[in-house]
Amino acid sequence: MKIQIITLFPEMFEGVLNTSMLWKAQDKKLVEYKLINLRDFGIGPRKQVDDTPYGGGDGMVLRPEPLVAAIKAAESKVKSRPFDKLRVKKSKVILMTPRGKKFDQAKARKLSKLEDIILVCARYEGYDERVVEFVDEEISIGNYVLTGGELPAMVVVDAVTRLVPGVLGGETSAEKESFSEAGIVEYPQYTRPEEYRSLKVPEVLLSGHHAEIAKWRQQQQTRK
């Protein structure tokens, strides 16, 4: 999978993309991330990307030309054909915006089946509405307004990357995933020590009875 991210602040991503699982996913060549600096598509010698809003008002609005030029540049690097043999779309352009559809685990799973994802990070003041014509989807990570789409894009990249086959080790990770997709939270986990500040690990987990442990975990899962 290739994930291209269009942003005015590529440096914000360095730590997140180059740490832990996301770094491992790249190292294993399962996922490739590419940062595209929106500034490179700015207009004129000052590489301007925004302007004042028509009709007046505070703040600046991202102009459509740099955003669309960046999207087109990213699209030209897409490896997958737009549709596979079954006419299923294999690449998507997604705009991060608090006005978008709420991101959830089911959406993360759907996106993890794609071959190419282009994430567009806008700024909090806004973007020229005509940009929407050039994206496939608008996604929000929650009902709150952040200063830009960068943190939401990182959330999407993380949630999607861990679902790409081979990124998480072990078969059980995939099994557990089917539960969380159904909206049921995983069972509580414990590790050493057996007793911590008089808080004990549930007896059943120390019993060695696999059937009993599985039953207990299922009960806990449903309860949660």
In the complex, the residues that contact ligand ADE under the rule CB under 6 A are: 96-98, 124, 140-142, 144-146, 149, 152
Which CB, 61 or 167, lies closer to ligand ADE? 61
User: At residue 17, what are phi and psi to the nearest 5 degrees?
Assistant: -75, -20
Measure CA of the first residue to CA of the last residue in the chain; give whole Å.
34
Minimum distance between the CB of residue 115 and ligand ADE, rounded to whole angstroms?
23
Minimum distance between the CB of residue 135 and ligand ADE, rounded to whole angstroms?
13
| Tokens encoding 3 | 């994930």
* Measured CA distances, 109 to 49, 85, 145, 164, 178 (Å): 33, 20, 24, 9, 10
| Tokens encoding 126 | 């806004």
Minimum distance between the CB of residue 195 and ligand ADE, rounded to whole angstroms?
42
Minimum distance between the CB of residue 159 and ligand ADE, rounded to whole angstroms?
13
Which CB, 96 or 168, lies closer to ligand ADE? 96
Angle, in degrees to the nearest 10, between helices 150-161 and 20-27: 60
- Give me the helices (H) in the chain, please: 14-17, 20-27, 64-75, 105-111, 150-161, 171-181, 203-206, 210-223
Which CB, 92 or 217, lies closer to ligand ADE? 92
Of 104, 101, 109, 162, nearest in space to 135 by CA: 101
Residue 26: Cβ within 10 Å count: 16
Which CB, 94 or 163, lies closer to ligand ADE? 94
Minimum distance between the CB of residue 92 and ligand ADE, rounded to whole angstroms?
15
Which CB, 53 or 98, lies closer to ligand ADE? 98
Residue 134: Cβ within 10 Å count: 15
Which CB, 5 or 168, lies closer to ligand ADE? 5
Minimum distance between the CB of residue 68 and ligand ADE, rounded to whole angstroms?
19
